[in-house]
Structure 1
Amino acid sequence: MAQKLSEFLIIFFIICPLFLLFLASAQNDYPITSQSDCVSTCGSIEIPYPFGMKDPKCYADKWFEIECRNQKPYLKLINLEVTGIYASSSMVEIMNPVFRWKCKDDKDSKPFVNLTGTPFSYSNDQNKFTAIGCNKIAFLVSNGLEVSGCVTLCDQHDNEEVNSNVAYGQGTDGCLGRFCCETSLPLYLSEFNVTLESMNNRSSSDECVHALIGTDYWYEIYDGTSTEYRSLGDLRGLNYVRAMLDWVILNNTVKLPSDSNCTHVVGYSSSSSSARRCECYSDSFGNPYVTGGCIDFDSSNKNSRAKWVIIGVSASLGSIILLLGLWFMYIVVRRRILKKRKEKFFKQNGGLLLQQRLSTGEVSVEQAKVFSLRELEKATDNFNLNRVLGKGGQGTVYKGMLVNGEIVAVKRFKVQGKVEEFINEFVILSQINHRNVVKLLGCCLETEIPLLVYEFIPNGNLFEYLHDQNEELPVTWDMRLRISIEVAGALFYLHSIAYQPIYHRDVKSTNILLDGKYRAKLADFGASRIISTEATHLTTVVQGTFGYLDPEYFHTSQFTEKSDVYSFGVVLVELLTGEKPISSIREEDAKSLASYFVGSMEQDCLFEIVDKRVMKEGEQEQIIGVANLAYRCLELNGRKRPTMKEVTLELERIRNLDRKVDDLVVVVDSQEQYRHEEIEFVGTEMPWTGDSELDTLPSIGNNTTSSEIRPIHAKYN
């Protein structure tokens, strides 16, 4: 009996305060508008500040004015329908027009959305650019430049299905690669315009094509009662899809709350000096653009809550003691819930498997550490926007400082595929000890999306350093040659010497970072794959970066180590010419730097495209040698390309040409192939982890003088 009474009392004193807290929270709900008399809804859509209607005091400035038409809100000046506003994340969901061309029973639609000068831009992490059709290259154009694009592939039978609007690409998980393609958006995209190109002889001019910017689930149709999905082939009459816009406050006269975390947005294209964005602190929620709009998770309006609690329990001492006990129980239960949640994410992300491998010695604890979420939150100031180093399709990178003073880069990374594969990749990468590969320090598995921790690289990437040159620290020929050798050595290590072969799959100048001494560091292994030593290739859905993508991989979907060689060849040409991999300035058939370079070599015009600084500083034999090597790397037939081992040795030989080393010579016979002596390594350690760079590697070639070097096209014609 006493036990039942105690249980009743416990239940009563749990329910009563909770009920009173509910009443208190109902009367103290966080505000969403700046003025109490502002209209806050249009139809079923809530309109929080800085957006507003009718009265100028209800919205921040003219760009945030909402016009309610037939119970549907529209951004008045931009004339786009709004389907949702999310003040806590500074996003607004709109209905974005669809590009439609040559589609049966549908009129052509070539919309143009220009957000330049407005506080809005397309969210690059919430949207994707999608094209649906056959054998077309769809380019996303902004400010007259092609900033992104993708390719749709299908055969003749597929082409008939597209033109007849037969349903294809069925499923609720979006574009699967057949008939359609998708790619990520650049940061701060403010324009939506589309151009199309046919793929050489594989398509006709009358094929139906749709192109759009939309969220991951743009094909989802919601009628208010149920959710349906539109098949990718059934697109007749599709005029608009859902897309997300980011916003900032551009008007300096707008007063922002002092109790929110309001910061300047670095790099915003419209007005980087005045662009501001607000968010609630990590322990609160609500509307950060309204004073008092952010409410603490733990104690929403403590004074009001205490008042309702005292009234509810008749202000008796015993009730207060019981309530304090219940409050203590609440804290304990809450901590247990948070602990369980962290444990759930830890197990979900493969933490037990990782701990097992740590305990068996498969991974060195000194090299791979499992960080706690609290450590990384403290290191990055709760992932403050001011700490963002970069943002891409695979995640956001933050700069952080650990308690021991070490500067690190923390990457929020979304796992693709099985947890076992992610853990296996982490285990392998944690054992890589190569000075030209960005070092992985550890990970955090206590969050829904795992976090990876890397060493911090201070001097940006090779693309920025090469194409935005600083006169105070120019990119000399010696630096270019050294960087190419360092990257080639890193790829050679990944392909041939690592615990298991690793294909990088995204070799490009933006993924080559430069440390404090401007030494190259190969980075971004988000697309990398580990393969068995017996495998010769990897069959996957085609992905990569335009300008660096291996044409053979593009046509066969089979990625080999020679695909990395092709991408490295494009980087070599970048270093030689100083040109970007894709340029709209060049002629139509030479937009690709690889095609432009190969054509110039075959026309004996090498020195017309080489960078002026390279021509001034480099030896002619060295320039021709690197060009020859790049030409071989860009062979359309992957079997004819050299391995990264051969590339590394050849670059070392070329660098030593001006040192007049007797055992490093040039091969000039047009029919003779390069022959390399085998290198024997002990175990799996790098053979050049010290300060020397391949100083002990054997020489190659015949005893030929440097004066006998001829351009590559004469050799390969």
Structure 2
Amino acid sequence: MWLLKNLSILTLFFFFFPSLQQASPTPRYDDCAPQLCGNQSVQYPFWLSGHQPSFCGGDPVSSFGLTCDNSSGELFSTFFGFNFHVQQIFYSNQSVHFALTAADDFCRLFITTNATDAHPFTLSVSNRRILILLNCSDPDNRYQNMSCPRFTPPVLFAGEYVANGPQPNCSFSLAPVMGYFDISRRSNFTALLTAGWLMNWTARSCQACNETGGRCGYDNRTDSAMPGFICICRHGVRRGSCKRGKWLTRKIVAVAAASAGFVALACAIIFLFWRWLKNRRSSRSSKLFDRNASSWKDPNVQDHFQTHVFSYDELEEATDRFDSSRELGDGGFGTVYKGKLRDGRTVAVKCLYGKNCRKVEQFMNEVKILSLLHHQNLVSLYGSTSHHSPELLLVYEFIPNGTVADHLHGSRATERILTWPLRLRIAIETADALAYLHAVDPPIIHRDVKTTNILLDNSFHVKIADFGLSRLFPTDATHVSTAPQGTPGYVDPEYHRCYQLSGKSDVYSFGVVLIELISSKPAIDFQRERSDINLANMAITKIQNHELVDLVDTELWHPNDEVTRMRITMVAELAFRCLQADGDLRPCIKEVLDELIVIENATSSDSGKKAEDAALGQDEASLMQNIAMCSPDTVAGQWVSQSTASNSSH
């Protein structure tokens, strides 16, 4: 009776208040399907003008509207009164490659307006800046004429802008260019400018909506029933995701059934309730499988680790049955494939070798750890298969720009993209991620820090990957005893010798990474002299023998660039301290991070020396007294490693 009474009230409510059922026309799911322009996909937060309604874009919708030239397949974005050519959109790290094709447009944009940022777009830190001189003459022909016909006197191109460097005695403007160009006064400025620059955008995350099968948008109509960010589902519009979509469908069905007959609806509800009770008692209710959905729930993984569980069939489809042409890499634990999910996301799918107890443990360990972590410099885990799946598969965000190892001494080393400022920024972001891992509760030791596990996005920001060997570390312990695991050349010698893992083990591995960044040499190279096969040993010997110049990449060590040489020297010293054989003598990763930031901000030999001394927290006298226990204050002095000091004391 109670059920019938309440259903009657509900039905009368809908019949006698029809105005509440009426709403402004709602966006349809198919309206916001990804659109192709040439070979580029246009999807949230961008929308394609003339092909999609504006609510398919992000906020503000006017900024994310793009125009497609159907004849050429080129994309354009309009703001500041300019048509910017959209060369490529990188959805994984929210950046877009803009370009202008006419030199006169550059003159008007960067000289008249001097505008670079336009909400929601901001300049990427990976850009470099060229110096444009205004209102001055060049009697000695030191600079290039920019050929800006609307400006008198002529606008001059003066090469790359260097902070705190000497500036010409005239006004100037700055223009961004892609970070991997060599820039000088003799460069082809037209080629630099027409190559474009990177900008990042800010938009609300669409992850929750995508993962539940929806498509994101922003409804700014004044008569909208749900203004603001929306998730457009197959069954209607929701606020954040489609996870309640089935409930909404059942409600509509229930109301329709109530209008047809209360008795039939009551019987159906009673029947369904009886079935629910029966299924709840059944042992099979522990696993739910939806054959019409793209994923299923495994309580052993998803309920504990809060991560999405994919079906094996979906990932097999996403990778074209793990086609060899989609291979991204092949490591000690498995092969990584590039894939595309049904919702349009590009992902990296790692397939672990074999399936035994140890592999399952590593698989579960990586799922557990990554499901707990949220940091801008750690790769995101989108989900995994169940550990009951035919193959153990992990699904990560796709990081498109390769690894640090690729750029330093691998397949992309000849491109010479990694300038010294980029390398220093890579070191800082890597240390920041490790400091985060060591600071969470309980702390996490990565155990496999190396340049092949440091990925780079298109803006050259760091994403640390591969947590299969990582360990959750007891908060009240100084170390844990475990069999040494890791990659030769990076393994902490104290860990290898004493079977004791600690946060200082990651610090040692990071010290090897620092040496790779300044030398461009691999951690292990059997082509080197026998004593130099191990890069860490080679670095310690070179530094102790005052041969740092023989260790550093020759393209970084410019005799006339005092600031860069000073910063490299300071990083070499820091790496030396990280590589101490005794873990107690190494700094913690937070100290390493703080010191790298000091090094990045150092602007001259004097100020750099003061900043270095402040970071080390000791004056020259105390440093000399303890020279046998840690590194000295400069690499120009005599460096003594702990192993050397120990031997000399006998």
User: If each structure's helix is expressed as a fraction of its own residues, which one has the higher value?
Assistant: 2
User: TM-score when scaled to structure 2?
Assistant: 0.47
